[in-house]
Structure 1
Amino acid sequence: MGLFDAPGMWKGVLCAPLTPFTSDLAFVDDDRFAQQIDFLIGQGVPALSPGLHAGESPSLSAGERDLLMRLTVEVADGRVPVVAHVSSSATRQSVEHAQTAAAAGAAAVVSASPYYWQPTDGALIDHFAAIAEAVDVPLIPYVYPGDLTLDSFAALLDALPTAGGIKSGDFDLQYLTELCRIVADRRPDFSVFAGVEYALPMAVLGGAGCFSALGLVAPRLVAALSAAVEAGDVVAALPLQRKMSALWHLLRPGYPGRVKAACTILGRDLGPVRPPVSAPDAAEVNAVERELTALGLTETEGFGWRAAP
């Protein structure tokens, strides 16, 4: 059984909400966060993953992270599954975040490799296994380039029988191809996700989809790309993937400061970013707006919090 009780591999997009702050950066703006969740669900996103790096999680307190997770579960109200981000540098803290998320109604949890420590493959597998064993919902490990060798990936699958998928931050074609091959041979119901919106190449390799950091900027583009990929229509998906790639490379510098700036340009202001993330200056914002217009997104993505027609 696949992720979210799918009969096979669950495929789709897991959208990462951004974190709105009050103007003094002292608090999370609960109302605007709830508005964002409703908007994203109204745009048809199939799953939400709060507290990821797009949501400035390293700049949030443990209480704020738990608050955003609980708000997402509450506002979603069963309409879409919620995958809570529970990463920490320490295994114990990751376990505690995961237990809190599962108790609050999250459908799954996602955890990155521990920050800073660079554990061995065996220690990393033990870290993920401790999280998986502590909760009764699936875990999605999140591995970065160099975190886990392909030789150890089969051992990871064996150690995590309740895991539903993996999120890979590696864009190396050979690594991803082999990772998907290992999964196909051992766990055909296991979902391999790209870390950002490279849905088409992941589908070609046998992956399941992607996490989305740009769902609030370009929800209609994300949805159109996902639909074309799911339909197996490469001719339709390719220009959408190229547009998505151009958008990602436009907004990636200073991440996620430019992502928030793009949202503001499109009438979906979520307030400032917290230091040490820096906000783009006026010249950068103007350049972002010009590129959004050149990509056609200021016309196609609507303005403000209106749902798609």
Structure 2
Amino acid sequence: MSNKFRGAFVAITTPFNPDGSLDEQGLIDLLEFQIAAGTHGIVPCGTTGEAATMSHEEHHRVVELTVKTVAGRVPVLAGTGSNSTSESIELTRHAKEAGADGALLITPYYNKPSQEGLYRHFKALAEAVDIPIILYNVPGRTSVNMLPATVARCAEIDNIVGIKEATGSLQQVSEVIRACPNGFAVLSGDDFTSMATVMVGGTGVISVSSNVAPAEMAAMIKAALNNDNAKARELHYRLFPLMQAMFFDTNPVPAKTALKMMGKIKSDFVRLPLYATDQNTVAKLQQVLQQCGLV
């Protein structure tokens, strides 16, 4: 397997106008900011991108615009998961046609599939669309945990090449790495565990904090991948307050609030049922951004 899915990938926010419509120029500007800062890859239409409240038409547009703007400078891993297998296949087919380098596929949420159901869901997807697939396990959002044994079964399928592991458990990360073949990419889905995930054999992170500190997150993961443990640890603790701040409220509310404070987006609008955070949280967030030298 290629090492395409290594480093710090940003789970990029989707900028909306104050009326809730897609801010296309805002997205282009965010992508350019990310690439200029040295981010290693872009993940549009994930949890942080508010994919759950996008129409298919908007989802297609964001993926197309991202691929076109990035223009091969870094890999684009498009979020194409859903809780319906047929819908996931449609979104994944579109991502392949649009030119994405891979597809990030969340475990189906709400349905609560069995481990066998999870395996068959991903097998159906892999057979339907010939694109590199990264699984995405985030029990806190889906109420189902894809167990290491199931990940290992999926890893035997040719185009399933990695996983975004967001259990926050280094035990589960270690079990996945141990169970899967060499070259299977294991990316942390939690900024807090990203450095440690690399230390135990992971390949990087799909990061929320990278929205606001792309250069620093990329430097931390690069140092960890290069076994420069002292530098990686120093950056981990420098970024730690920011990683916490990104979850002062439901993701991506703090990330968008921070990007607006930094002047990177015009509006921090989030779509219902998410809602703008309260003034106390905004003040706490601003304090952290000041401490980190971001505003």
Same-fold call, TM > 0.5? yes
In the TM superposition, residue 69 of structure 1 has moved relative to its aligned partner by: 0.3
Distance 1:31 1:99 in 2: 25
The answer to whether the aligner puts 1:251 opposite 2:249 as a matched pair is no
RMSD of aligned residue pairs (Cα, Å): 1.5
The answer to whether the aligner puts 1:287 opposite 2:284 as a matched pair is yes
- Farther off after superposition, 215-224 or 145-154: 145-154
Asked whether the equivalents of residues 195 and 224 of structure 2 are also in contact (C-alpha less than 8 Å), the reply is yes
Asked whether the equivalents of residues 155 and 162 of structure 2 are also in contact (C-alpha less than 8 Å), the reply is no
- Farther off after superposition, 241-250 or 35-44: 241-250
The answer to whether the aligner puts 1:200 opposite 2:200 as a matched pair is no
Distance 1:143 1:3 in 2: 20
Distance 1:121 1:257 in 2: 32
The answer to whether the aligner puts 1:87 opposite 2:81 as a matched pair is yes
Distance 2:264 2:188 in 1: 26
Equivalent position of 2:170 in the other structure? 173
Q: Deviations over 1:213-270 (max 9, x none)?
A: 1222112221221222122111111121123332121121222111111111111125
- Farther off after superposition, 263-272 or 58-67: 263-272
- Farther off after superposition, 200-209 or 138-147: 138-147
1:47 to 12, 19, 41: 41
Equivalent position of 2:153 in the other structure? 155
In the TM superposition, residue 204 of structure 1 has moved relative to its aligned partner by: 1.2
The answer to whether the aligner puts 1:261 opposite 2:251 as a matched pair is no
Distance 1:152 1:261 in 2: 37
| Identical amino acids, percent of aligned pairs | 31
Asked whether the equivalents of residues 108 and 138 of structure 1 are also in contact (C-alpha less than 8 Å), the reply is yes
Asked whether the equivalents of residues 3 and 138 of structure 1 are also in contact (C-alpha less than 8 Å), the reply is no
Instruction: Specify the code of the residue in structure 1 equivalent to 2:256.
Output: K
Instruction: Specify the code of the residue in structure 1 equivalent to 2:251.
Output: Y
Q: Name the TM-score, length of structure 2 as normaliser.
A: 0.93
SS at 1:38's partner residue? Answer: helix
1:230 to 196, 221, 225: 225
Distance 1:153 1:283, change over 3 A: closer
Distance 1:270 1:69 in 2: 21
Distance 2:266 2:81 in 1: 23
Equivalent position of 2:106 in the other structure? 112
Q: Deviations over 1:50-107 (max 9, x none)?
A: 0011111111111111110000001111111111111111000000000011011011
Instruction: Give unpaired runs (5+ residues) of structure 2.
Output: none
Distance 2:206 2:279 in 1: 29
Distance 2:148 2:99 in 1: 33
In the TM superposition, residue 180 of structure 1 has moved relative to its aligned partner by: 1.1
Asked whether the equivalents of residues 2 and 164 of structure 1 are also in contact (C-alpha less than 8 Å), the reply is no
Asked whether the equivalents of residues 254 and 278 of structure 1 are also in contact (C-alpha less than 8 Å), the reply is no
The answer to whether the aligner puts 1:215 opposite 2:210 as a matched pair is yes
Count matched residues: 288
Instruction: Give unpaired runs (5+ residues) of structure 1.
Output: 5-9, 299-309
Asked whether the equivalents of residues 260 and 270 of structure 1 are also in contact (C-alpha less than 8 Å), the reply is no
Asked whether the equivalents of residues 90 and 114 of structure 1 are also in contact (C-alpha less than 8 Å), the reply is yes
Instruction: Specify the code of the residue in structure 1 equivalent to 2:37.
Output: Q
Q: Name the TM-score, length of structure 1 as normaliser.
A: 0.89
Asked whether the equivalents of residues 2 and 190 of structure 1 are also in contact (C-alpha less than 8 Å), the reply is no
In the TM superposition, residue 3 of structure 1 has moved relative to its aligned partner by: 4.8
Instruction: Specify the code of the residue in structure 2 equivalent to 1:114.
Output: P
Q: Which runs of 4+ in 1 moved over 4 A?
A: none
Equivalent position of 2:161 in the other structure? 164
Map 1:125-140; keep pairs closer than 5 Å: 125-140=119-134
SS at 1:224's partner residue? Answer: helix
